[in-house]
């Protein structure tokens, strides 16, 4: 579990599409350097969010660490497009003594969204993102003034356009110097994780509605509604 408060900017120092080393596990691996600030209490198997993606540390030293990236993660995130020299947002898994300054972030990226607009507004920057058409349902969980996690950064949604599948956020000057997004261009892909509380609420409501509509409970619910309507009409007469 993470908070969406980026702790440090690391730098990609190696990308191995097929890493046959023991720590690479015969899969895709990324090694991130300039990370000494967050490795003082690191252990093998620890979780570190890289651009908002929860990954497992398979090897580390004083200043760098390696993570393996599963095929599904490569399909859902922008990690597969990282190159040596790229900066990445880093956050260690939260502990009991962490100030909860952002929101509950799992590090389970839903997909990537594209940057379609970037406008300076005083010392802040307003970014507009578009959700892919095949992930239209994610718009159900993106609401004005709600939480959103973009490349591992907890941000507040400003506006939402469900028809265009777009939403916007504003990034203050302090955050601009501590995350990767200001270095990205129009069209670049950004990892998105919508608020998981919205997903749980939606799932619970959907299940309840289906249960009522498809079973005896549904008939009972309809009967209760009809009885109430008839009772109101009777009392009115």
What pLDDT sits at residue 227?
79
Annotated active-site residue 108? The verdict is: yes
Annotated active-site residue 70? The verdict is: yes
pTM for the predicted model, two decimal places:
0.86
Task: Break the chain into its structural domains and give their ranges.
Answer: 8-92, 111-198, 199-236
Annotated active-site residue 156? The verdict is: yes
User: Which of these is catalytic: 23, 47, 63, 98?
Assistant: 47
Q: CA-CA distances (angstroms) from residue 68 to 10, 50, 73, 149, 163?
A: 16, 11, 10, 22, 37
What pLDDT sits at residue 220?
64
Degrees (nearest 5) of the Cα angle 15, 21, 27? 55
User: Which of these is catalytic: 2, 60, 65, 129?
Assistant: 2
Q: Which overall architecture, per CATH, does domain 111-198 show?
A: Beta Barrel (2.40)
| Separation CA 163–CA 160 (nearest Å) | 9
H or E stretch including 65? strand 65-69
Annotated active-site residue 56? The verdict is: yes
User: Which of these is catalytic: 21, 108, 183, 204?
Assistant: 108
What pLDDT sits at residue 84?
98
pLDDT tens digits for 139-186? 999 999 999 999 999 999 999 999 999 999 999 999 999 999 999 999
Widest Cα–Cα separation across the chain:
83
Q: Euclidean distance between the first and final Cα of the chain, in Å?
A: 59
H or E stretch including 69? strand 65-69
What pLDDT sits at residue 3?
94
Annotated active-site residue 149? The verdict is: no
User: Which of these is catalytic: 54, 112, 167, 168?
Assistant: 54
> Selecting from 2.40.30.20, 3.30.110.30, 3.90.226.10, 3.40.50.720, what CATH number does the domain 8-92 have?
2.40.30.20
- List Cβ neighbours of 96 (8 Å cut-off, separation of 6 or more): none
Q: Which residues of the chain have pLDDT under 50?
A: none
Annotated active-site residue 111? The verdict is: no
Fold matches, 8-92 and 111-198 = yes
| Separation CA 13–CA 84 (nearest Å) | 5
Q: Residues 133, 185, 193, 53: is their CA dihedral positive or negative? A: positive
């Amino acid at each position: 579990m993470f908070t969406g408060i980026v702790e440090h900017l690391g730098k990609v120092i190696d990308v191995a599409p097929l890493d046959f080393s023991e720590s690479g596990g015969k899969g895709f691996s990324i090694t991130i350097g300039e990370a000494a600030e967050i490795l003082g209490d690191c252990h093998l198997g620890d979780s570190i969010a890289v651009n908002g993606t929860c990954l497992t540390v398979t090897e580390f030293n004083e200043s760098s660490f390696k993570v393996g990236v599963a095929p599904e993660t490569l399909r859902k995130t922008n990690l597969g497009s990282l190159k040596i020299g790229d900066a990445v947002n880093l956050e260690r898994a939260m502990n009991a003594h962490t100030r909860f300054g952002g929101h509950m972030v799992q590090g389970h990226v839903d997909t990537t969204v594209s940057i379609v607009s970037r406008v300076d507004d005083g010392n802040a920057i307003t970014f507009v993102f578009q959700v892919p058409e095949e992930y239209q349902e994610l718009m159900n969980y993106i609401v004005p003034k709600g939480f959103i996690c973009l490349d591992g950064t907890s941000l507040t949604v400003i506006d939402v356009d469900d028809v265009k599948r777009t939403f916007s956020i504003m990034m203050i000057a302090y955050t601009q110097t501590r995350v990767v997004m200001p270095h990205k261009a129009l069209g670049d892909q950004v990892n998105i994780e919508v608020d998981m509380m919205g997903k749980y609420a939606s799932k619970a409501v959907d299940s309840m509605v289906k249960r009522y509509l498809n079973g005896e409970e549904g008939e009972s619910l309809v009967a209760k509604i009809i009885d109430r309507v008839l009772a109101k009409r009777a009392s009115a007469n």
